Amino acid sequence: MYNTNEIAVTGLGVVCSLANNITDFWNALLNDSSGIKNWEDLKHSDFKYIHASRVENIECDPLQRGFHFSVAAIEQAIKQANCSKTEKWGLFLGTTMGESAAFEAIAENKQTLIPEAYTGFGICKRLMKKYPAIDKFQCFATACAAGNYALKAGMDALQKGEISMAIVGGVDPFSKIAMTGFSRSRAMSPSGICKPFDANRDGMILGEGAGFLVLEKVENATKRNANFLAVLDDCALSCDAYHPTAPKPDSSGIINCFQQLLKTNNLKPSQIDWISAHGTGTKLSDQSEAQAIAKVFDTHSPYVSSIKPKIGHTLGASTAIEAIVSVLSIQHQTIPHTLNYTNAEFDIRIPKKPVLTKVDKVLNCGYAFGGLNSITLFSSWN
């Protein structure tokens, strides 16, 4: 018998620089391709760094790209899950910048717009109008951890019986505002090559995209004869309370987050098969994450890898897209590698090629400005 509070993942949808569908996205993750390019419009700007990862082949209003990315990903997810439009849905969306292009247009006096309509809240309102089955929504602006926060909220709402299905994910279109901020903080890669955990890493590269998952109680999914992709077991959250942008040097906030999740779910470190790392490619963030993993998993070394060298840092969409990769790794019993990883610095197990192996339990990690730490746990459906 299943636990009546267990949460099943029954649908996935993705839009990013690698692909705009799940099959092509997964295949691209397993080769050495990358969606990161030099962009001509950045060459003709004041930006020092011109590398970015962008979505192509989706027609949309340039001021509402976040909404259109979300629709494209949600359509894939609800189709795979065969969602009933008579069910009561909840929408849980994470974003960092919202429709950043609209704010940029306002700042440049190119548009007179209502700013609220282009926030994450505004994206949710438009999605609610498009999908009448959405009975409630929540929007999370918890930066790069926003997708995991949305997963946690969707899981909680399902377990409380507030909704029948949760449409959960994150979205962020490319943002010149974000590019400016990260450039000024010297977080961007001068080489244009994202190298998480590598001894010669020199910074991050921005991306854009959307990722959405359909969640529902196992009981509901069983009654519908839905296809189980994985189980979302839990999500742990913690806060460093240390610095607005820098991680805590001793990694204690991240360590606490890992330990909290393992303890709550009665798991030993040896039961974790893969850690889908935050892995941005910046010096401090990677160091903080790596030393936390080494501390918690000191007697057992699960595989650790990051997909950001392939799709860039998609901000509020990152943990949502990486949650999708976590589910796909369980489905395919394969762990994606970390592109551009050559020179080891940390005592963690980073694959340079995809690994075909048993994948039963996966941790999906996301850390954000403000010292926000988030880790979700996915398991195979037995």
> Annotated active-site positions, please?
144, 278, 313
Instruction: Kindly give, in sequence order, each residue whose CB lies less than 8 Å from that of residue 187, ignoring residues fewer than 6 positions away.
Output: 203, 204, 280, 282
Pure H helices in the chain: 22-29, 40-43, 65-81, 100-107, 120-130, 146-159, 176-184, 218-223, 252-264, 283-296, 308-311, 318-332
Contact between 125 and 116 (Cβ < 8 Å): no
Report yes or no: 220 and 90 within 8 Å, Cβ to Cβ: no
CA distances from 43 to 49, 64, 362 (A): 8, 24, 39
Distances (CA, A) of 296 to 201, 254, 270, 307, 334: 23, 10, 10, 22, 23
Closest CA to 321 of 192, 115, 189, 169: 169
Taking each helix axis from N to C terminus, what angle separates 65-81 and 120-130, rounded to the nearest 10 degrees?
A: 50
Count CB atoms within 10 A of the CB of residue 305: 29
Backbone phi, then psi, for 233, in 5-degree steps? -80, -40
Pairing of strands 230-239, 372-379: antiparallel
The pair of structure tokens assigned to 307 is 């997909």
Kind plus residue range of the DSSP H or E element containing 13: strand 7-15
Dihedral angle sign, alpha carbons of residues 308, 309, 310, 315: positive
Token duo for residue 153? 């909220």
